[in-house]
Amino acid sequence: MTKRQQQQNLSQSRDGGYTIIESLVAMIVVSVLMIAIAPVMAFSVATRVQARRTELATQAARTYIDALRTGAIKPGVPGFPIPAPAGDLAGAAVPTVADTYCVDMDGDTAGGGCAPSSTKDFRVQGAWLNKDATGSDPTSKGYQLLVRVYRADSFASGVTLKAPKAAKKQSVVGSGLGDRTMPVVEMSTEIPPTGAASYNSISDRLKKP
3 falls within a domain: no
Average pLDDT over residues 65-92: 89
- Asked if residue 96 lies in contact with residue 149, where contact means CB atoms within 8 angstroms, the answer is no
The one-letter amino acid at 83: P
β-pairing, 122-129 vs 82-83, is parallel
80-99 average pLDDT score: 89
Total of domains in the chain: 1
Helix (H), strand (E) at residue 75: none
Whether residue 21 is contained in a domain is answered as no
In three-state form (DSSP H/G/I as H, E/B as E, the rest C), the secondary structure along 165-206 is CCCCCCCCCCCCCCCCCCCCEEEEEEECCCCCCCHHHHHHHH
Q: What is the mean pLDDT of residues 164-192?
A: 73
Q: Residue 11: inside a domain, yes or no? A: no
Helix (H) or strand (E) holding 24: helix 3-70
Residue 43 has what pLDDT?
72
Q: Tens digits of per-residue pLDDT, 112-170?
A: 578 888 878 999 999 999 888 777 788 888 899 999 999 998 898 888 898 876 656 66
Whole-angstrom distance, CA of residue 11 vs CA of residue 160: 70
Domain assignment present for 178:
yes
Q: pLDDT confidence of 174, banded at 50, 70, 90?
A: very low
Mean pLDDT of 86-112: 82
